[in-house]
Structure 1
Amino acid sequence: MLVRQYIDKRCNINKLSTQYIAAIEAKLNDRPRKKLNFRTPKLFFTKNLSKFAFGS
């Protein structure tokens, strides 16, 4: 699991702050993806927005 890069396995996640978990979530969600040709989901979305929005 990628979360283990940030949180030790023995750590009680109930004691972690919501802000800390949100920061980890943001980092994981903004990682480059091989499936997107190593672009981040946000970059892929913004580059292709017109294709999706206008069907061209």
Structure 2
Amino acid sequence: MLAGELPEGAEPVIASPEEVADIRWESLPALELDTACPPWTLRSVQQATAALGRTSAAD
């Protein structure tokens, strides 16, 4: 799980497709409602959101 600001206009790319299958942008509220979201992923997003000093991942 990575957290940070992306410069305006920047687009993430998968540099190693054998290691990374997909990139997803999800808000914390959406993940909290997603029953398929593993608990460890939710905890990681909550921690990343807190580290960025935000109230939600979409702020």
The two structures share one fold, judged by TM-score above 0.5: no
- TM-score, structure 1 length as denominator? 0.36
- TM-score, structure 2 length as denominator? 0.35
Higher helix share: 1
